[in-house]
Amino acid sequence: MLTRPPLTRPALTCPLPACPPPARRPQARLPRARLSLVRRPMARAAGVAAAGAVLLGASPAPAAAAPADDVRGGQQPVLDTLELPKAWRSTRGGGVTVAVLDSGVDRLHRDLAGSVTVGKDFTRGANPPGVRPLRLHGTYMASLIAGHGHGPGGSRGVIGVAPEAEILSVRVILEDEEPGFRVFNTDPRFEDVMARGIRYAVDRGADVINLSLSKDLPSREERAAIRYAIDRGVVLVAAAGNDGAGRPGRVAPYSYPAAFPGVVAVGATDRRLRRATFSNGNSSVVVAAPGVDILGAGPGDQYWIGRGTSQATALVSGVAALIKAEYPRMSPPLVARALTASATDRPPGGYDTGTGFGVVNARRALAEARRLARHTETATGGQAQDPAAPVGGGAASPIRVVARDRDRARVYGVVAAVAAGGMLASVATMYVLVRRVRRAQSHQDA
């Protein structure tokens, strides 16, 4: 299981953005643990630092909240990297539903209000009765995908990649800090929650599924759920994992569902758009996105900043949502093609295991999707074969089965072989006789 240190509460003040570098904390592994959120440490940022990340804003007292323009300003580097202002001239994700399979989403956050449908909780029974979900990680991811801001014209707070998209929250994981976390990771009842969550999201109309979580080992049920989603035109985007630190030049472990065929596996880049040190590097990585110092929303109108392949995955899910908004019938393989063919900062040779085919770019991805949409997946025209019609043309009819007598066929084969042998013997005999006659004539002439 890929794990992360517990959420750290800030204790050391510092002015943003000049906070000290993150401190590394030991990571604990739970026995038989199956599913884990893929994130680095996060913390609140009302001008305070913590191990691994900083949380911006929002204590219960309004005076303590970070100014909203600080939040939007902090997002600007990511918005520019993805060229979102230009992409939004074409679409802002309206009409698309993105399922966030995570720890739950705060639907009342001012930057998400009106955009979130709370779906099924597949973790029910893990926490003791009366314990409310924390919904930290899920709210954070949802805001990066479909946050619409607040205030005049939505100019304050978090703006997501697809701000007009709808979020379907499906709870399939607990926060590390929740009291039922150990039960959830050891009780067989929760073995296939991710597979069930995927099928649930597909059946409720999701166009894109964001999976900012991971497992060490896959299951047959998860593989089948992935196939179920792709067969129904749903794009799946998953985090490659945060186990890459300390492995320079070496392949990091594969994580699932990112490593399943058909899933868009996402790595994280740093501020220089190079592979972030923690991001897993292996051949499952398809594309990358910014994953360091990413601002997002937290429950209770808080704002968070953190790092991880989770954040990068949410950004890519948002770009996929923009593509599906423009081209609703585009198949998952073509959406993936649009993401990869349009990526920027491509590695030498066009691909590497750290950032895949490069860093996603929303404007370019929409342009590539537009080009791909001009090509049909089924040939048309007078000479094209209708895939619903019989290959030979005409009405379909029962297949005529011809029964063959194997014994008779064997006899015929023997007869044919004998006849062929006799013919060859005759030809050989004639050849010998002709040569003898020619030799006799030659002797007489001499």
Positions marked active-site: 102, 137, 310
Q: Where are the alpha helices (DSSP H) in 192-270?
A: 193-203, 220-231
Closest residue by Cα to residue 45 from 71, 21, 23, 77: 71
Those residues with Cβ within 8 angstroms of residue 177's Cβ, 6 or more apart along the chain or in another chain: 6, 7, 134, 136
Is-contact 112 105, C-beta < 8 A? yes
Rounded to whole angstroms, the Cα distance separating 325 from 312 reads 20
Rounded to whole angstroms, the Cα distance separating 234 from 261 reads 14
Rounded to whole angstroms, the Cα distance separating 52 from 358 reads 25
> What region does 345 belong to: left with phi over 0, alpha with psi -120 to 50, or beta?
left
Structure tokens at 279: 């991001």
- Angstrom distances, CA of residue 83 to CA of 89, 208, 339, 361, 392: 11, 21, 14, 6, 50
Rounded to whole angstroms, the Cα distance separating 70 from 47 reads 11
Is-contact 143 158, C-beta < 8 A? yes
Rounded to whole angstroms, the Cα distance separating 28 from 182 reads 12
DSSP codes, 31-75: TT---EE-----EE-SSEE-SS-B--S--SSGGGSPPHHHHHHHH
- Angstrom distances, CA of residue 269 to CA of 81, 287, 302, 356: 11, 10, 25, 11
Q: How many CB atoms lie within 10 A of CB 287?
A: 26
